[in-house]
Amino acid sequence: MAGRPFVPLAVAGVFLVAFSVAVPAMLHQALSGFAMLVALGAAGVAVLLVRHRSDRLKRSLASSSARSKGLERELRQRAGRDPVTGLANRRQLTERLDQVLTGVTPGVTVALLDLDGFKDVNDTLGHAAGDELLVQVSRRLRAALPDADVLARLGDDEFAVVWRGADHAVEDALAQLRPSYPVAGRQVHLTGSAGLVAIGDQRSSTDVLRDADLALDAAKHAGKDRIVRFDPDLRAAAARHRELAAGLRRALAEDEFELHYQPVVRLADGRITAVEALLRWPAAGVPPLAFIPVAEATGLIVPLGWWVLRQACTDARAWHERDGVAVTVNVSGHQLREQDFVERVLAVLDETGLPPAALVLELTESVLVDDAERTARLGRLRERGVRIAVDDFGTGYSSLAYLVHLPVDILKIDRTFTASGVDSTLMRVILQLAEGLSLHTVAEGVETAAQATALRSLGCQYAQGYLYSRPVPAGSLFM
């Protein structure tokens, strides 16, 4: 009996051992199940969150896409509109023209309109005033052309209209442009020029606008404030213009030009006191009346003008040293606009050795009037001894009062006054005016001794024309 108490203890020990093993196992299983439940719950929440975020993302993307499409539409609309006037722009115009050409729509007319005098508004009142004026012009054009397919502003002061109907629609539009405009506290007056073309054999919008532009150029050259309808001959003239421009560039580079000189004679004794330098292009056989306008239009007149000045001063130095003869050189408005014009003229005189008093710069009335900057430049040259002559005087401005304020020394009276009768009232007035202003006078286009005698009796001091000599090369001038 003494050994039995050990049995319960052994059983209890076994039980404790089993319990210590079983309970952790059970707890482990329970905890594992709970962890699984927690994990499954977390996964479910995650799925719900993902789905929620996905729905939000889808809604956000849909909203963003809608905004993007709206912005795209707005950008397309803005891309087709002129920002100043709200009219269609060149892009929208060309798209419409291409549609018309694709559909071969009959009876469609295109017009280009250009505002005559708009640049003066920008120059005098500023670009803000210019924009204000453009807005007013666009309103008038809309009112005058309510049935237009497209009304566009192409840039600066050029507009375009596409419509089906009679030409009088554009005539009405030009009439609407003529009444004054209130701009920047002033009343501004404008007119318009237009070129019309009916869509026919053109292959693209570029061809249509080219033909309309040719007609517009013809309208402006014909005197502005008018309409010209396109004619195929204008294409031939444009091709000729391009050929002449290319030829002028080549001739300038290859030194193909020459100077001829025509004497200016003192009527009192017949003495040659000056010669006028006149540009010639003998290699091409093209007269100045044909190539000078092309040079003006292309800007080639500027390098040509400097070539003429340098060559004329070079030739005239010997004549001045020997006989006191001066040289007259024509200057274009393009050349006079250059900022360094005065310095370049003086540099040519220094380079060639011709005294400033032996040089006369000849300009037209239109170049001289209403341009303070040009006037100041000429005044600086006069201070150095260079003289200034007004060419073709009497054909430009009806008011002669501007002569009082301009830096002018010589009036060259246009040949039309000589041909129509020297002893005319207007000729007398011009000569009396010149005398009162202490200006020298040169009558151009003198061809007969009777004309010379009459001019001398009226007090004209100098004459130039075929009576004395045609323009001749430098080597033949004093033979």
The per-residue pLDDT for 15 is 40
Q: Where are the domains of the chain?
A: 90-230, 240-476
Element (H, E) at 194: strand 191-198
pLDDT for residue 420 is more than 90: no
The per-residue pLDDT for 51 is 64
Cβ(183)–Cβ(133) under 8 Å? yes
pTM metric for this prediction: 0.71
Looking up tokens 């003229």 gives: 345
Residue partners of 369: CB distance under 8 A and separation at least 6 = 396, 397, 402, 406
Encoded tokens for 11:
């059983």
pLDDT for residue 125 is more than 60: yes
What span, in angstroms and rounded, lies between the C-alpha atoms of 156 and 320? 49
pLDDT band at 102 (very low <50, low <70, confident <90, very high): confident
CATH T-level fold of 90-230: Alpha-Beta Plaits (3.30.70)
What span, in angstroms and rounded, lies between the C-alpha atoms of 262 and 462? 13
Average pLDDT, the chain: 84
Paired strand residues for 81: 88
Q: What angle do CA 139, 144, 148 make, to 5 degrees?
A: 95
The tens digit of pLDDT for each residue in 9-68 reads: 343 343 433 444 444 444 445 445 544 544 445 545 454 555 666 667 666 665 655 555
Residue 476 sits at φ, ψ, to 5 deg, of: -105, 0
The tens digit of pLDDT for each residue in 305-359 reads: 999 999 999 999 999 999 999 999 999 999 999 999 999 999 999 999 999 999 9
Residue partners of 135: CB distance under 8 A and separation at least 6 = 84, 85
Short-list 377, 386, 372, 451, CA closest to 413: 451
- Distant-in-sequence contacts of 199-208, Cβ < 8 A, 24+ apart: 199/97, 199/100, 199/101, 199/105, 199/108, 199/109, 199/110, 202/101, 203/101, 204/98, 204/101, 205/93, 205/94, 205/97, 205/98, 205/101, 206/94, 208/97, 208/101, 208/110
* CA dihedral of residues 95, 193, 143, 103 (deg, nearest 10): -30
The per-residue pLDDT for 441 is 96
pLDDT for residue 161 is more than 50: yes
What span, in angstroms and rounded, lies between the C-alpha atoms of 327 and 358? 6
* Reduced DSSP (H G I as helix, E B as strand, rest coil) percent helix, strand, coil of the chain, to 5: 55, 20, 25
Cβ(222)–Cβ(116) under 8 Å? no
Higher pLDDT, 400 or 115: 115
The gap from C-alpha 204 to its chain's centroid, in whole angstroms, comes to 24
Paired strand residues for 151: 161
The span from the first CA to the last CA of the chain, in angstroms, equals 174
Looking up tokens 């007969």 gives: 448
- Look up residue 279 and give its amino acid: L
The tens digit of pLDDT for each residue in 246-282 reads: 999 999 999 999 999 999 999 999 999 999 999 999 9
Residue partners of 365: CB distance under 8 A and separation at least 6 = 390, 391, 392, 393, 395, 396, 397
Per CATH, 90-230 and 240-476 having the same topology is answered no
Question: Of 156-165, 204-213, 272-281, which one has max mean pLDDT?
Answer: 272-281
pLDDT for residue 299 is more than 60: yes
Short-list 145, 174, 149, 146, CA closest to 162: 149
Provide the b/e sequence for 403-418 (b: ≥16 CB within 10 Å): beebbbbbbbbbbebb
282 exposure class (CB count in 10 Å sphere: 0-12, 13-18, 19+) = exposed
Q: Is 274 helix (H, G, I), strand (E, B) or coil?
A: strand
The gap from C-alpha 144 to its chain's centroid, in whole angstroms, comes to 27
What does the DSSP 8-state code read for residue 357?
G
The gap from C-alpha 88 to its chain's centroid, in whole angstroms, comes to 20
What span, in angstroms and rounded, lies between the C-alpha atoms of 268 and 457? 10
The tens digit of pLDDT for each residue in 442-475 reads: 999 999 999 999 999 999 999 999 999 999 999 9
Cβ(334)–Cβ(302) under 8 Å? yes
Strand ordering across the sheet containing 150-155: 150-155, 158-164, 108-116, 191-198, 227-229
Element (H, E) at 272: strand 272-280
The per-residue pLDDT for 457 is 92
Domain 240-476 has CATH 3.30.420.40: no
* Helix (H), strand (E), coil (C) string for 410-464: EEEECHHHHHCCCCCHHHHHHHHHHHHCCCEEEEECCCCHHHHHHHHHHCCCEEE
pLDDT band at 150 (very low <50, low <70, confident <90, very high): very high
What span, in angstroms and rounded, lies between the C-alpha atoms of 173 and 169? 6
Provide the b/e sequence for 308-346 (b: ≥16 CB within 10 Å): bbbbbbbbbbebbeeeebbbbbbbbeebbeeeebbeebe
- What is the number of residues in the chain? 479
pLDDT for residue 366 is more than 80: no
